[in-house]
Chains A and B, each alone.
Chain A
Amino acid sequence: MTAALPVLVLLTSLIPAGVTFFLAQDSHGLRNTLNLGGAVLKLGLIVWMLFAVAGGASYETTLPLAPGLVMLLRVDALALLFISLSATLWFLTTIYAIAYFGAKPELSRFFGFFSLCVAATTGLALSGSLISFFIFFELLTLSTWPLVAHKQDKPSLSAARVYLAYALPGSAALLWAIIWLESATGPVLFTDPPDLSALDPYALRTIFALFIIGVGVKAALVPLHGWLPAAMAAPAPVSALLHAVAVVKAGAFGVVRIIYDVFGAANVIALGVGVPLAALASVTIIWGSVRALQQDEIKKRLAYSTVSQVSYIVLGAALASPLAMIGGLVHLIHQGLMKITLFFCAGIYDERAGVKKITGLNGMGQRLPWTSVCFSLGAMGMIGLPPLAGFVSKFYLGLGGLQAGAPWVLGVLAASTLLNAAYFLPLLYRLWFLPAAPDATGNERAPALVIPAVVTAAAAVGVGLLAASPISPLGWATLIVTREYGP
Chain B
Amino acid sequence: MSALVIVLTLPLMTALTVLLLPARARVPVVLASSALIVLAAGALVLAVWHGGPVTLAVGGWAPPLGIALRADGLAAALIMMSALVMGAVALAAQFELTPDRVGVRMGFGFWPLMLLLWGALNAVYLSRDLFNLYVGIELLSLAAVALVALSGSAQALAAALRYMIFALAGSLLYLAGVVLAYGAHGTLDIGLLAVRVPAHTDALALALMTAGLLAKTALFPFHVWLPPAHAGAPAPASALLSALVPKASFLILIRLWFEAMPDLASGAALLVLAALGAIAVIWGGVLALVQKRLKLIIAYSTVAQLGYLFFIFPLAGGDGSAQPWAAGAWTGAMFQALSHGLAKAAMFLTAGIYIAAIGSDRLGDLRGLARSLPMTGFAFALAAITLMGLPPSGGFTAKYLLMTSAFAAGQWPWALVLAGGGVLAAAYLYRPIAALFAQGARTPARPIPRVWQAVPLVLAALSILLGLLSAIPFDLLQIGRPAPAQEGL
A150-187 toward B: CB 8 Å interface, digit per residue (1/0)? 01110001001100100011011101100110111000
**Across the interface, do A66 and B423 meet the contact criterion of CB distance under 8 Å?**
no
Measured CB to CB, the closest approach of chain A to B477, in angstroms, equals 10
Across-interface contacts of A182 in B (CB, < 8 A):
404
* Distance between A329 CB and nearest chain B CB, rounded to angstroms: 27
Contact A139 B391 (CB under 8 A): yes
Contact partner of B489 (CB less than 8 A), chosen from A68, A151, A168, is A68
Q: Specify which chain B residues have a CB less than 8 angstroms from the CB of A168 in the assembled complex.
A: 388, 422-423, 426
Would B471 and A65 count as touching, CB distance under 8 A?
yes
B423/A172 in contact, CB under 8 A: yes
Q: How far is the CA of A172 from the CA of B397 in the complex (A)?
A: 14
Contact A153 B439 (CB under 8 A): yes
Task: Check B134 for interface membership: any CB of A closer than 8 A.
Answer: no
Query: Across the A-B interface, how many residue pairs have beta carbons closer than 8 Å?
Result: 84
Question: In this assembly, does B246 line the interface, its C-beta being within 8 Å of a C-beta of chain A?
Answer: no
The answer on a CB contact under 8 Å between B471 and A179 is: no
**B468 to A, closest residue via Cβ:** A65
Say yes or no: is A277 at the interface (Cβ < 8 Å to chain B).
no
A134 at the interface (CB under 8 A from B): yes
Cβ of B404 and Cβ of A179 under 8 Å apart? yes
Determine if A135 is an interface residue (Cβ-Cβ < 8 Å).
Answer: yes
Q: B403 on the interface (CB 8 Å rule)?
A: yes
Q: Are A135 and B392 in contact (CB under 8 A)?
A: yes
Report A16-54 CB contacts with B as 1/0, cut-off 8 Å: 000000000000000000000000000000000000000
CA distance A182 to B325 in the complex (A): 13
Q: Among the listed A67, A152, A179, which residue makes an inter-chain contact with B439, where contact means beta carbons less than 8 Å apart?
A: A152
Q: Is B328 an interface residue (CB 8 A)?
A: yes
Question: Is A134 in contact with B391, judged by CB distance below 8 angstroms?
Answer: yes
Whether the pair B407, A180 counts as a contact (CB closer than 8 A) is yes
Q: Which residue from chain B places its CB closest to the CB of A135 in the assembled complex?
A: B391
Bitwise interface map of B from 447 to 489 toward A, beta carbon under 8 Å scored 1, else 0: 0000000000000000000011111001000000000000001
State which of B400, B422, B470 has its C-beta within 8 Å of the C-beta of A179: B400
Say yes or no for A69: interface residue by CB 8 A criterion.
Answer: yes
Q: Are A66 and B390 in contact (CB under 8 A)?
A: no
Q: How far is the CA of A135 from the CA of B397 in the complex (A)?
A: 11
Q: Taking the nearest CB of chain B, how far is it from the CB of A484, in angstroms?
A: 27
Main secondary structure of the interface of A (DSSP, over half): helix
B426 and A64 contact, CB distance less than 8 A: no
Determine the chain A residues whose CB is within 8 A of the CB of B397 once the complex forms. Answer: 65-66, 69
For A172, the closest partner residue in chain B by CB is B419
Q: Are A179 and B438 in contact (CB under 8 A)?
A: no
Chain B residue contacts of A68, Cβ below 8 A: 328, 400-401, 404, 489
Is A66 a contact partner of B470 (Cβ separation < 8 A)? yes
Q: Does B408 contact A (CB under 8 A)?
A: yes
Query: Are A138's CB and B408's CB within 8 A?
Result: no
Most buried by A among B422, B437, B470: B437
**Shortest Cβ distance from residue A68 to the other chain B in the assembled complex, whole angstroms:** 6
Is A161 within 8 A of B404, CB to CB?
no
When the two chains form their complex, are residues B434 and A161 in contact, meaning their CB atoms are under 8 A apart? yes
Known A69-B397, A172-B423: A164·B430 in contact at CB below 8 Å: yes
Chain A residue with the shortest CB-CB distance to B392: A135
Contact between B423 and A169, CB atoms less than 8 A apart: yes
For the complex, is A410 an interface residue (Cβ under 8 Å from B)?
A: no
**Chain A, residue nearest B440 (CB):** A152
Q: Is the CB of A161 within 8 A of B419?
A: no
Other 11 A-B pairs with CB < 8 A, given A142-B390, A164-B426, A180-B412: A66-B401, A69-B397, A141-B390, A157-B434, A157-B437, A160-B434, A164-B430, A168-B388, A168-B426, A175-B399, A179-B403
Interface residues of B (CB under 8 A from A): 328, 368, 374, 385, 388, 390-392, 397, 399-401, 403-404, 407-408, 412, 415-416, 419-420, 422-423, 426, 430, 434, 437-439, 467-471, 474, 489
Q: What are 23 inter-chain pairs, A to B, with CB distance below 8 A?
A: A65-B397, A65-B467, A65-B469, A67-B489, A68-B401, A68-B404, A69-B397, A131-B400, A139-B391, A139-B392, A152-B437, A152-B438, A152-B439, A153-B439, A157-B437, A157-B438, A168-B423, A169-B423, A172-B420, A175-B399, A176-B403, A179-B407, A183-B407
